[in-house]
Structure 1
Amino acid sequence: MAGDLVGDPAGLTRSKNGWFRAELDQVFGDQQRQVDEIKQFPSGIYNQRDVIRDILERLDRVERRVPIPPG
């Protein structure tokens, strides 16, 4: 087997390229799965009503911080 690779540098290159490709496919697949899980996580916990409520609470806090001009 090793003698075959030494005699065929193109075969060695193809073998290395195949290994790197498989490794990259594995890494990219894992990262894509993590991204998909992160995207699904908030939608399972926060629904539209919760988002609107959160925005309204933030708006109320901001409005309380703004001083009312005398008049």
Structure 2
Amino acid sequence: MKKKIQPPNKNDSTVNEPEAVYEAAPAVDRWNPNKPFHGTQEEWWEHFRGIEKGEFSPVKETHERVSQWLKEQNK
């Protein structure tokens, strides 16, 4: 949901907070890594379950892969 801030009326002598006007986000929105993702609790749980179903690497194996990669990078 995008938020537009309306500037205050120049003829109004009182100081008010700007009014917020909300617009619905487009149905197909590209992912932007700089924009936080807001979702429902169920959407987050589905996301976590999808990660848990993925490939699992033991810590020792992961450490060996990272060590090997670092050696290759430092050559």
TM normalised by structure 2 equals 0.35
TM normalised by structure 1 equals 0.36
Q: Which has the larger radius of gyration?
A: 1
Taking CA–CA contacts closer than 8 Å with sequence separation of 6 or more, which of the two structures ends up with the larger relative contact order?
2
